[in-house]
Amino acid sequence: MARPAEDAGIDAFTAFVYERDNRCGWHREWWLHVGGCRQLLWIERHTLTHEIRAAGGSDA
């Protein structure tokens, strides 16, 4: 989920901070490799099966 633009207003930021769909299906999310390289990576995970079909670094 992308951070809204600076002037997007309170409603947009409220949605960004608080509102999440609890989707059954593919979900793109951030993971931080805390115990290792401390790099952020994104993965695409299926929320039902936990299958991971794609992953990449934060620069990708």
Residue 13 touches other proteins, criterion: CB under 8 A: yes
Helix/strand/coil for 2: coil
Which residue in the set 20, 28, 29, 39 belongs to the binding site for other proteins (CB under 8 A)? Answer: 39
Q: Would you say 25 and 47 are in contact if contact means Cβ atoms under 8 Å apart?
A: yes
| 26 lines the binding site for other proteins (CB under 8 A) | no
Instruction: Compute how many other C-beta atoms are within 10 angstroms of the C-beta atom of residue 42.
Output: 15
Is 8 in contact with 32 (CB distance < 8 Å)? no
Could you say whether residue 54 binds other proteins (CB under 8 A)? no
Residues near other proteins (CB under 8 A): 3-4, 6, 8-10, 12-14, 16-18, 30, 32, 34, 38-40, 48-50, 52, 58-59
